[in-house]
Amino acid sequence: MYPIISLSVTGLLTLFLGFSENKKIVFPASIAFLLIALATAFIDWNAPGFYFNDMLQVNNTSIVFWAILIISAILIMGFSEGFERFEFAQPAEYFAIVQFSLVGAIMMVSFKNLIMLFLGIEILSVAMYVLTGADKRNIRGNEAALKYFLMGAFATGILLFGMAMFYGATGTFNIGSGVFIGGDNSFFLWIGCTFMLIGMLFKVAAAPFHLWTPDVYEGAPTIFTAYMSTIVKTAGFVALFKVLSTTFSGLQDFWWIMIAVLVTLSLMIGNIGAVSQNSFKRLMAYSSISHAGFMLLALLGDHENALGSIMFYSVVYTLATISAFGVLMVVSKERIEKGRVYEQNDLFKGLAQNNGFLATVLIIAMLSLAGIPLTGGFWGKFFVFRDAASSGLFWVIIMAVLMSAIAIYYYFKPVLLSMSKKTSLESITINPLAKFIFAITTFGTIVLGIFPWILRSLF
């Protein structure tokens, strides 16, 4: 509850900070605001309850997710240091929108009423549309923003229609106020369930609702691509889980086949599509589709473990993704070709020779994304497979394992490039804050790879 208030207020404050002459203050102030929000998140620790007529549900699980979301945002925002150097940038607006968007994300992980879910999704999405087009001079960014907006609006329509149908069938917006298994209104309920799921699956980029992903990821400024692929995904999956495990848990026979088919599709399209990508961001976009498939797998298992698996998976995925995009940002900062930032895979050529630290960070991130043992990614996949195995869906698991094998191929592309030799090296400067963030994400990936129970034992 408190982080919502805190972030709304500090978001406003950040907007006002934009009036000040000294733009340098906005960045540290925003980080401080996010830290305050993080601190307020723990006020309700061990004090579970419902707020505002059952609009919000707060318990330790949701607080853990708040913390994950806010910490991810801090880690990503850390890369925007020096942003205000550009005369045309408007740092106050960016940081304010980031804080507001977190309000949406927090609503998505702790809603109790579908209206809150809808609002949360909209707040996060509208913020994302704006941030995607944040680099106004980049016409690809503009295109991506418009595309994202149009398709997002379409998905929102579907979601809203689903919620309306759901209301028609049950007469309530509260989730978990009863388990519905059909009856006279079963068609309404089924349509509602299907459309709501479709709307949410669009947001987490599960195939076949993934088409926006590669274009938008590529067009958006890298820092917001990172934001999109971590925070939106984490919040989206928790929201999906909440809906599926409470209201729709009685309908499992109805939706599991659909989710199973979408898992297979996401894994196939994500992994196979990534193989031929030359742009690192497009590669990561397809990778994000395939990870959506892996996380959906957890939803197919029994609900006891699923949330823990989703939490673990999103944390390791977030850490690795921040590392990967962070390295891309640092390395590509110096490389601007034809007015655009150069973001092809071969940007990493000779990185190990050039800057061993960055190469290590990149390699560990890629290994974790590929799910190699001793990185967190391995355990993430392990838990998800275990959950799916508990529901006996072996054909999906076999598919997933095959696809992870393909994944190794394309994740190793940047790794091998970074190990290769190159004659001319340009110097790469990393500021201390970025170094610190890399240290956290890389260390976290390895620690979670060796001692996964540190995190898994939370719930």
Partner 1 sequence: METLETIKNLTMTQWSFYAVSVLTLFGALGTILSKNPIHSVIYLIMTFFSLSAHYVLLNAQFLAAVNIVVYAGAIMVLFLFVVMFLNIKDEAPELDNNKIVIGASIVGGTIGVILVAAIRLTESQKIDPSTYQIKTGFIETLGQLLYSKYLLPFELVSVLFLIAMSGAVMLGRKEKGERNF
Partner 2 sequence: MSLIALIPLFPLIGFLINGLGYKKIPKAIVAPVGIGAALLSFITTVLVYFQFKADGQTIIQPLFDWITVGGLNISFAFQIDQLSIIMLFIITGVGTLIHLYSKGYMSHDEGYGKFFAYLNLFLFSMLLLVMGANYLIMFIGWEGVGLCSYLLIGFWNKRSDFGDAARKAFIMNRVGDLGFLIGIFLIIRQFGTLEYLSVFEQAQGLEMGNISIMFITFCLFIGAMGKSAQIPLFTWLPDAMAGPTPVSALIHAATMVTSGIYMVVRSNVLYTLSPDTLEFIAWIGTLTALLAASIALFQNDIKKVLAYSTVSQLGYMFIGLGVMAYTSGFFHVITHAFFKALLFLGAGSVIHAMSDEQDISKMGGLWSKIKITAATFLIGTIAISGLPPFAGFFSKDEILAHVFEHNKAMWALAMVGSFMTAFYMFRLFFLTFTGKFRGTKEQEDHLHESPSSMTIPLIVLAGLSIVGGFIGFPEIFHLPHALADFLSPLYDGSRAVNPEFGLVHLSHSTEWMLMGFSVLLAAVALGVAWFIYVKKETQPADPSQLGGIKKVLADKYYLDEAYQIAFVKPVEKASQFFYSTIDKKAIDRVVEGTGDLTSLLNRLSTKLQTGSTGFYILVMSIAVAAILILNMGTEIADQFFSIFNAQTK
20 binds partner 2 (CB under 8 A): no
In this structure, the strands spanning 336-337 and 340-341 are antiparallel
Residue of 33, 83, 118, 209 interacting with partner 2 (CB under 8 A): 209
278 binds partner 2 (CB under 8 A): no
Please state the closest distance from residue 409 (CB atom) to partner 2, in A.
8
The one of partner 1, partner 2, none whose footprint includes residue 167, by CB under 5 to 8 A per kind, is: none
Please state the closest distance from residue 16 (CB atom) to partner 1, in A.
12
Rounded CA-CA distance 314/320 in Å is 10
395 binds partner 2 (CB under 8 A): no
Please state the closest distance from residue 387 (CB atom) to partner 2, in A.
12
The one of partner 1, partner 2, none whose footprint includes residue 90, by CB under 5 to 8 A per kind, is: partner 1
214 binds partner 2 (CB under 8 A): yes
Q: Is 287:266 a contact under the CB 8 Å cutoff?
A: no
Kindly indicate which of the ranges 73-81, 128-136, 203-211, 313-321 contains the residues binding partner 2, using the contact rule CB under 8 A. Answer: 203-211
Which residues form the interface with partner 1 (CB under 8 A)? 4, 8, 11-12, 15, 51-53, 55-56, 87-88, 90, 93-94, 96-97, 100-101, 103-104, 107, 113, 115-116, 119, 122-123, 126-127, 129-130, 133-134, 136-140, 145, 184-188, 190-191, 338-340
3-state secondary structure (DSSP) of residue 289? helix
Kindly indicate which of the ranges 20-28, 266-274, 324-332, 335-343 contains the residues binding partner 2, using the contact rule CB under 8 A. Answer: 266-274
3-state secondary structure (DSSP) of residue 320? helix
Strand partners, 336: 341
Residue of 5, 12, 139, 275 interacting with partner 2 (CB under 8 A): 275
Cis preceding-peptide flag for 452 (omega within 30 of 0): no
Please state the closest distance from residue 273 (CB atom) to partner 2, in A.
4
Give which of 421, 410, 436 is closest to 357, Cα–Cα.
Answer: 436
The one of partner 2, partner 1, none whose footprint includes residue 453, by CB under 5 to 8 A per kind, is: partner 2
387: its two tokens = 């959950």
Q: For residue 322, what are the contacts with CB-CB under 8 A and spacing of at least 6? A: 72, 75, 76, 226, 230, 437, 441
Q: Buried b vs exposed e over 41-74: b needs ≥16 C-beta within 10 Å?
A: beebeeeeeeeeebbbbbbebbbbbbbbbbbbbb
Kindly indicate which of the ranges 64-72, 93-101, 183-191, 365-373 contains the residues binding partner 2, using the contact rule CB under 8 A. Answer: 183-191
Specify the residue, 159 or 407, whose C-beta has the smaller distance to partner 1. 159
Specify the residue, 64 or 198, whose C-beta has the smaller distance to partner 1. 198
267 binds partner 2 (CB under 8 A): no
What is the SS3 string spanning 371-437?
Answer: CCCCCHHHHHHHHHHHHHHHCCCHHHHHHHHHHHHHHHHHHHHHHHHHHCCCCCCCCCCCCHHHHHH
Specify the residue, 104 or 377, whose C-beta has the smaller distance to partner 1. 104
Residue of 198, 297, 397, 407 interacting with partner 2 (CB under 8 A): 198
263 binds partner 2 (CB under 8 A): no
Count of CB atoms situated within 10 Å of the CB of 437: 23
Rounded CA-CA distance 53/116 in Å is 12
Q: Is 195:159 a contact under the CB 8 Å cutoff?
A: yes
Residue of 53, 137, 184, 257 interacting with partner 2 (CB under 8 A): 257
The one of partner 2, partner 1, none whose footprint includes residue 238, by CB under 5 to 8 A per kind, is: none
Give which of 325, 320, 300 is closest to 310, Cα–Cα.
Answer: 300
The one of partner 2, partner 1, none whose footprint includes residue 139, by CB under 5 to 8 A per kind, is: partner 1
Please state the closest distance from residue 88 (CB atom) to partner 1, in A.
5
Rounded CA-CA distance 324/117 in Å is 30
340 binds partner 2 (CB under 8 A): no
Rounded CA-CA distance 370/389 in Å is 20
Please state the closest distance from residue 186 (CB atom) to partner 2, in A.
8
Angle made by CA atoms 150, 155, 159, in degrees to the nearest 5:
145
Give which of 372, 380, 360 is closest to 441, Cα–Cα.
Answer: 360
Specify the residue, 86 or 409, whose C-beta has the smaller distance to partner 2. 409
CA-based torsion, 410, 411, 416, 422: positive or negative: positive
3-state secondary structure (DSSP) of residue 71? helix
276 binds partner 2 (CB under 8 A): yes
Specify the DSSP class assigned to residue 136.
T
451 binds partner 2 (CB under 8 A): yes
Q: Is 354:421 a contact under the CB 8 Å cutoff?
A: no
# binding residues, partner 2 (CB under 8 A): 37
Residue of 22, 423, 424, 457 interacting with partner 2 (CB under 8 A): 457
User: What are the residues binding partner 2 (CB under 8 A)?
Assistant: 146-147, 150-151, 154-155, 158, 187, 190-191, 194-195, 198, 202, 208-209, 211-212, 214-215, 254-255, 257-258, 261, 268-269, 272-273, 275-276, 386, 406, 451, 453, 456-457
